Structure 1
Amino acid sequence: MAKMKDQLKSGAKKGAEKAKRSGQNFKKLLKGTTGTSIFTKRTRKPNFFLSVAINTIRITVIAILLLCISGAGSLVGLVKAYVETAPTLSVSELDDQDRTSFVYDVNGNLITTLRNTENRIWASYDEIPQQLINAFVAIEDTRFFSHNGVDIKRLVGAFVNNMQNSSTQGGSTITQQLIKMRVLSPERTYKRKIQEAYLAMELESEYSKEQILESYLNTINLGDSNYGVKAAAQDYFGKDLDELTLRECATLAGCTQNPYSYNPRKNYYTREKPEQTDNRTDTVLMRMYHVGFITKEEYEAALADQLVVKEESEQQDLYEMPHFVEYVIYDVVSFMLQQRDLEDNTANRREMERELRTGGYHVYTTCDPTIQKTVESTIYNWKNYPRMANSADSQTTDTSSDGTITTITQPQVSAVVIDQHSGEIKAMVGSRTPPQSMKELNRAYQSSMPVGSSIKPLAVYGPALDLGAGAASIVYDIAAPIEGWVGGQGYPSNSGGGNRGAVTLRESIVRSINVSSARTLLERVGVETSKDYLLRMGVSASHIEVTPSGLALGSSGLTTLELAGGFSAIANDGIYQQPISFTRVEDEDGNVVIDATALRATRQVFEQSTAWMLVDMLEDAVDHGTGTRAKIPGMTVAGKTGTNQDNKGVTFAGMTPYYTAAVYVGSDEYKSLSSDSQGGRSAAPIWQDFMAKIHSGLMNMPILEESAEEAGLVQATVCAISGKKPGGSCPSTATDYFRQGTVPEETCDMHVSAEICTTSGMRVGPYCPESTHSGGAAIVIPQDNVLAKLPLATIQRFFPGATLGTSLGNGQTCTVHTAEWAAQNSGLVSQASSLVATAQAWLPNLSEGDAALVQSAITQLQNCINTGAAYEDTKAAYDALYNTLSTAIAATPQVPATPPGGEGEEPPETE
């Protein structure tokens, strides 16, 4: 026995010396020149005729034995034909095997493994304990280190045994088993056995025993989809190879003969037949002892040792943070397709994912587990999701491919957090409840729903500022048709109704005014330009509704990831960085095969000045606009709400000095939420909850480091109606930021100094009473102003007294105090003044209540007299005073009744 042990050690030593003499690094020899193959291709073809002649003689002898075992004869010519048609040995099949890949978080900690049908973690020869090697050699191929690929003695023994017993015993060596598993088929034919023996000898002449063993121990099936000793050790025992006990080594070696029957987990728990595994393990230990690999003491200790097997396989568990992990897989596959210039279609995606799961890769993600779990906690435990407008829409069902029906609660939700400085995704959640299985719908990137007004900074105001507008630029919020608008009355409606006339871009974004957003898009940007901006921010063309409504009001269906990516560009000085979920992918040797930071798209979408103004305006939107519920105490926050038409979903996208995040809440079937559902009320609080926790303990600072001046901005004042440089007659102005070189230089031509009638707000006419004259400015709409396209009556509802024209010369004077008005009012004013005097004389005689009513009526009529009001208004005020005074006098019996207005005088008749 000692002699046999020395022979085995001598064989191993010779194999190692052979590898060393080759002059190649051992690890490179294992991996080959390409870094992907254990077995390198031949650089020089052997002498074919000499090789065939020698090996034919050898194989003939072996074949005779093999055929004798089967009770059949053999012909030398047939053997020669089989040898000549054997597959070429220098092929990648020997080690082109599925290898498990690994996914790590941003801290370098393992999140999960990825595999296909075979769970294989490659172990180098140096990693494999000697006891584990000895266990496999002892039970599978005792003379492995001394034979040349075929064990003649074992073949003879098998022949004798098969002649004496009804059962058959194989004579394959470890080398032959490797050939059978990786090069040949498992069929039981003379041809396969002869070719197997021939190729085994060829393999032994080319490669060392260590190389062959390494490949074999990483190839064998050990049950439960575990291939190779490293994966099996972790799955069955939860141990690395160097932690295995002698009994555990023997158990793994014992599985080789029949992985199903000797599966330790199934025997210990499912079948409740632990003896089936234990007996096989004891057999392996006995063989190890008999060949001298272990001492008697080691043998007996291992027999007495108790095997502890993990009851549950982690391979069946759903990995942590599934939404993020599965997006990483999608993201890596996307980069693989890009790197290899392959079309992004289902077939290519399937093939790339198979490679990712079987290539033994190491994927280093950007996932921050603390942030990810914080977002998950908020989303999964939120108690205030909006209700569905129709309670029947609160539950939907989904039927999987296996027929399983799943009930899904509505509305659903998605959220994404990005570090805007690096473009790295830190968290992603795609449902309001934790996934229960792999590849459930991830709404964060697989659902594109209309985002409402959250799109405005990206598609409207950002482009407008880039094209020369400033925060104080004027846009008109007027309920009137907009050129280019499609549908409705020719213009959109504002949330909550009402219109404000002239507003700045800052007010428009802070108050989320739909009409001014539509006008900004169509009058300053253009639909195609807006679309191009979205494309440059990574929004898929298929998600963009290239219509005024799609771009100005957000009926375009962006994903939550796309929305967050666009806002992160604003928070990054206008530089868009394609959001990435991983930084790099390495192969087993640590070589970087995909560098996402180098391959991703990066471009300046907005001017730095534009980004600065957008952030500043969006801070106002959170401070006192529609997004106040997103405030984080002690932290700067900027953001924009969004509410889809008919409340069919709500969003909030915002940023801090550290992170950008977006939240979407809505029905998978695009059904309406309750009428009180709004972005500010239903999405912003969710955003605030997890972002406040993420920022706990972080120091506050500006979102953008540069000052306004460093960003190329200046403050300027403009007329609050025309948006031009104020003139001396402009009644109101607005002061805000503009990019240098874009400050309006043209002086306002809408306001002209003139005597203004205080009643009409128009220039004084010949019939305006002196009391109505006031110095001021008349509003004259220039022909090139956008307002000139609107009906004058519409303009005057928002700008009283406005006229059309380029100067006062062709403008209009007061249209209240006309000749007709003067003719009507000449007698009425005299009578009204007399009635006022009479009423004032009666006041001391009236009760306190009646006196108050009469005094109010006196004031109204006096105002009409003083302002030169229209005849109808003065007449109405006269009648009101007359009737009020008459009623009061009638209620005062102790005073003689005298008709108001003078002895025998009646109220004037209406004309």
Structure 2
Amino acid sequence: MRWSSRRTVAFSALAIASIIALLVAGLLIYFFAVISPKVPPIDAVTDYKPKIPLRIYTADNVLIGEFGEEHRDFVAIKNVPDLMKKAVLAIEDTRFYEHGGIDWIRAAAAVRANLKGGFRQGGSTITMQVARNFFLSRDKKIGRKVNEVALAYKIEGALSKDQILELYFNQIFMGRRSYGFASAARAYFGKDLEQLSIAEMAMLAGIPQDPVRHNPAVNPRRAKQRQETVLRRMRDVGFITEAQFAAALAEPMRIASARQEFGTHAEYVAELVRQEVVAEFKDEAYTRGLSVITTIRKAEQDAAYDSVRRNVLAYDQRHGYRGPEAFIDLPTEPAEREEAINQALRARPSSEGLVPVVVTEAGPKLVKVENLDGDSIAISGANLKFAAPALAANAKPSLMLRPGAIVRIAREGDKPWAIVQVPLVAAAFVALDARTGAYHALVGGFDFNLQKYNHVTQAWRQPGSSMKPFIYSAALERGYSPATMILDEPLNMPGENAGATWSPQNDDGKFDGQVTMRFALAHSKNVPSVRLLRAVGTTYAHNFLGKFGFTAEKHPNNLTLALGTGAVTPLQMAGAYAIFSNGGYQVKPYLIAMVKDAAGTVIAQTKPAPTLDETARVLDARNAFVVDTMLRDVTRYGTGAAATQRLSRTDIAGKTGTTSDAVDGWFAGYGANVVAVAWMGYDDPKSLGGREFGATLAM
């Protein structure tokens, strides 16, 4: 009886095992005979051709811009640091080098977890993730998972483990518009892979699971939690020691700003180049790995950017605090309060060094603010001076600093934080090689992130007195000389069609009687300039401007031409002043030196016209020489003297320019074969202030 019972049990077990075996065999036959042939070909991985973005560099090989569908820096697996690989393997696929594409042990654990509560735990290997990233969606569906398994087997049969890992390291999406770990290292930390610390490697390794939730730039706390999980896993599997684990946990995370991944602030340069390259190569420009070498040099671009930034901020400080950017209601519940602050600050446009914060406490002697990272910062003493009007008891509600106010703070080096504001005034700077036209530096505005409008190439503004040298050059061509005497006395001109009398005035309101042409230009005398233009002839002078590349219809054919009432761009002014610098030759500005393909082969190169080619002469050498001597007097003892003294330069020639009611401020000049133009003004033209002049505004 017992024997019969045992035989029945054994028979049943054998039958069940046979059924399971038949089912497995059937599934395998179905999988390899039906499903596997239907999966897409894997040419995309066996013949991997990643989309490489357009990259733009300075002449000294500093990256200044990147444009493309996918931001990617391809890195060979042999060049990936060992600990970086181990960080990924620890959290994603510890048995990667042991399984054949599917980790059945991990898959079984995932099935158990999923049966308990839905598809909550993944069993995907790195090979399966490669299959998904190249061919499939991220949906957690049975059909997609089966195809993923089939593709994983195909990939494992076609590629080595290192080749598969190389695909993963270069193809995976990492957030912040970055694909692959090398690009992510630059985007998040401003570093190459080999420069990363263990903590930074762990941070990157944790991102692929959820590039939004674990993005350290957007969700620093969640990213930190994920990083700790990666580090703990690395320690548990023996990839790092306990000491390395502790040190990495304690390391503070410093996430680079979106612009720190580039070597210098040349956003306006990069955008100009992008437009030129796309015009030539169309949409292919964004994917074929083109490298564009510009004529810009990092040191000069840095100096130009810092100068524009410094002058604009100084002007803004002189003209007072305008009040908070906005106000929000601060909930009393801590979690809601934190979310309200984060949401408000994420919505504020970023500007280099001008950090948006929310005021949490405000008093006449102490203001506390909170930044996006949740840090509380106390500001007191002299660092509240700029915003003092907003702390007064009788301040207007729109101006008052109170809890919930959104303001900006900044600091110099390790100095305490101070309350500042985003300037409203605009500015521009451009420098060219006066002999070839090659750009040396270009800053199209205060901050590209705040305004993409390039004032160097797009802003048509009144040049004011910076236009006078061209009127004086026309006079020289008519036979006048720097020693010619001109009367500096009140001048009343009858208006056209019996209109009101026009009486031009000197900026200082004074008259000096008989003065030389040289003196009149050096001191930017308006009345002598109008008299000179009347003697030369407005039509002659108007036509003469064409020699310098100015647009005729942008300038009046009347006596106000002497006061610069027409319109020019800073780039036009730079090209025009280059003619005085180089002895009379017109140059064509250019920005791109060469273009290389992904293999490094030069496929396009700019060949500037021969230096000082006589065919490019537009002005008699004697005329250019005399104007040059007059412009040097402007900077020695005239309106530009104070500014050039601040620069500690004795070799500069140039001219300041201030338009009527100080709406525009200019300085145009040159030295050492470089011509430069600086401009400042409001986009919606209005006075910069009664005590503001081109000599102080633009330099």
Q: TM-score, normalised by structure 2?
A: 0.62
Cα distance in 2 between the residues matched to 1:525 and 1:255: 65
**Displacement of 1:153:** 5.4
**Displacement of 1:78:** 6.6
Residues 250, 285 of structure 1: 8 Å contact kept: no
Cα distance in 1 between the residues matched to 2:139 and 2:601: 39
Cα distance in 1 between the residues matched to 2:453 and 2:627: 33
- Partner in structure 1 of residue 376 of structure 2: none
Cα distance in 2 between the residues matched to 1:315 and 1:410: 23
**Displacement of 1:202:** 5.5
Aligned match for 1:183, one of 119, 128, 135: 135
Residues 456, 517 of structure 1: 8 Å contact kept: no
Cα distance in 1 between the residues matched to 2:217 and 2:318: 47
Structure 2 residue 295 is the aligned partner of structure 1 residue 375 = no
Residues 193-342 of structure 1 aligned to structure 2 (within 5 Å): 193=145, 196=148, 200=152, 209-222=161-174, 227-233=179-185, 240-242=192-194, 252-259=204-211, 270=221, 274=225, 277-286=227-236, 288=237, 306-316=248-258, 325-340=266-281
Deviations 1:95-150 (A, max 9, x none): 5446595755x66566x6657797644322231123433554465456655777x5
Structure 2 residue 627 is the aligned partner of structure 1 residue 614 = yes
Cα distance in 1 between the residues matched to 2:606 and 2:250: 42
- Partner in structure 2 of residue 457 of structure 1: 469
Deviations 1:835-890 (A, max 9, x none): xxxxxxxxxxxxxxxxxxxxxxxxxxxxxxxxxxxxxxxxxxxxxxxxxxxxxxxx
- Partner in structure 1 of residue 79 of structure 2: 127
Residues 102, 361 of structure 1: 8 Å contact kept: yes
Cα distance in 2 between the residues matched to 1:570 and 1:263: 54
For residue 584 of structure 2, what is the amino acid of its counterpart?
Answer: G
Deviations 1:774-796 (A, max 9, x none): xxxxxxxxxxxxxxxxxxxxxxx
Deviations 1:794-853 (A, max 9, x none): xxxxxxxxxxxxxxxxxxxxxxxxxxxxxxxxxxxxxxxxxxxxxxxxxxxxxxxxxxxx
* Secondary structure, counterpart of 2:668 in structure 1: strand
Structure 2 vs 1, CA of residues 220 and 329 (structure 1 numbering), >3 Å: closer, same or farther? same
Residues 416, 564 of structure 1: 8 Å contact kept: yes
Cα distance in 2 between the residues matched to 1:147 and 1:167: 26
For residue 568 of structure 2, what is the amino acid of its counterpart?
Answer: L
Residues 53, 66 of structure 2: 8 Å contact kept: no
Structure 2 residue 536 is the aligned partner of structure 1 residue 524 = no
Aligned match for 2:547, one of 533, 538, 553: 533
Residues 131, 151 of structure 2: 8 Å contact kept: yes
Cα distance in 1 between the residues matched to 2:497 and 2:661: 16
- Partner in structure 2 of residue 572 of structure 1: 582
Structure 2 vs 1, CA of residues 65 and 279 (structure 1 numbering), >3 Å: closer, same or farther? farther
**Displacement of 1:571:** 0.8
Cα distance in 1 between the residues matched to 2:233 and 2:116: 20
Cα distance in 1 between the residues matched to 2:75 and 2:498: 68
Deviations 1:298-337 (A, max 9, x none): 5666556543554341134678998x52221222123314
- Partner in structure 1 of residue 460 of structure 2: 448
Identity across aligned pairs (percent)? 24
Structure 2 vs 1, CA of residues 361 and 139 (structure 1 numbering), >3 Å: closer, same or farther? farther
Residues 416-455 of structure 1 aligned to structure 2 (within 5 Å): 416-421=430-435, 423-427=437-441, 435=447, 438-439=450-451, 443-455=455-467
* Secondary structure, counterpart of 1:661 in structure 2: strand
Cα distance in 1 between the residues matched to 2:583 and 2:172: 55
Question: What's the C-alpha RMSD, in Å, of the aligned pairs?
Answer: 5.7
Deviations 1:490-509 (A, max 9, x none): 99754349999999976775
For residue 694 of structure 2, what is the amino acid of its counterpart?
Answer: A
- Partner in structure 2 of residue 719 of structure 1: none
- Give the structure with higher Rg (CA): 1
Structure 2 vs 1, CA of residues 534 and 475 (structure 1 numbering), >3 Å: closer, same or farther? farther
For residue 89 of structure 1, what is the amino acid of its counterpart?
Answer: D
Cα distance in 2 between the residues matched to 1:371 and 1:385: 21
Aligned match for 1:559, one of 569, 581, 584: 569
Q: Tell me how many residue pairs correspond in the alignment.
A: 575
**Displacement of 1:601:** 12
Unmatched tracts of structure 1, length 5 or more: 1-63, 343-347, 691-911
Cα distance in 2 between the residues matched to 1:452 and 1:426: 25
For residue 640 of structure 1, what is the amino acid of its counterpart?
Answer: K
- Partner in structure 1 of residue 402 of structure 2: none
Structure 2 residue 300 is the aligned partner of structure 1 residue 366 = no
Deviations 1:666-686 (A, max 9, x none): 444323466676xxxx22255
- Partner in structure 2 of residue 769 of structure 1: none
Structure 2 vs 1, CA of residues 506 and 337 (structure 1 numbering), >3 Å: closer, same or farther? farther
Residues 37-48 of structure 1 aligned to structure 2 (within 5 Å): none
Deviations 1:409-431 (A, max 9, x none): 67765444445345455555666
Cα distance in 1 between the residues matched to 2:104 and 2:644: 82
* Secondary structure, counterpart of 1:571 in structure 2: helix
Residues 468-507 of structure 1 aligned to structure 2 (within 5 Å): 471=481, 494-496=504-506
* Secondary structure, counterpart of 2:166 in structure 1: helix
**Displacement of 1:651:** 2.9
* Secondary structure, counterpart of 2:171 in structure 1: coil
Residues 509, 621 of structure 1: 8 Å contact kept: yes
Cα distance in 1 between the residues matched to 2:609 and 2:130: 40
Structure 2 residue 694 is the aligned partner of structure 1 residue 683 = yes
Aligned match for 1:89, one of 43, 57, 61: 43
Cα distance in 1 between the residues matched to 2:571 and 2:26: 66
Cα distance in 1 between the residues matched to 2:424 and 2:86: 59
Structure 2 vs 1, CA of residues 280 and 502 (structure 1 numbering), >3 Å: closer, same or farther? closer
Structure 2 vs 1, CA of residues 410 and 402 (structure 1 numbering), >3 Å: closer, same or farther? closer
Residues 90, 233 of structure 2: 8 Å contact kept: no
Structure 2 vs 1, CA of residues 412 and 470 (structure 1 numbering), >3 Å: closer, same or farther? same
Q: Which has the higher contact order (CA 8 A, sep 6+)?
A: 2
Residues 366, 580 of structure 1: 8 Å contact kept: no
Cα distance in 1 between the residues matched to 2:185 and 2:689: 55
Unmatched tracts of structure 2, length 5 or more: 1-22, 327-343, 350-405, 408-420
Residues 814-829 of structure 1 aligned to structure 2 (within 5 Å): none
Residues 331, 580 of structure 1: 8 Å contact kept: no
Structure 2 vs 1, CA of residues 339 and 552 (structure 1 numbering), >3 Å: closer, same or farther? farther
Structure 2 residue 671 is the aligned partner of structure 1 residue 656 = yes
Cα distance in 2 between the residues matched to 1:673 and 1:261: 46
Residues 451, 554 of structure 1: 8 Å contact kept: yes
Cα distance in 1 between the residues matched to 2:25 and 2:505: 88
Of residues 512-521 and 201-210 in structure 1, the stretch that sits farther from structure 2 once superposed is: 201-210
Q: TM-score, normalised by structure 1?
A: 0.50
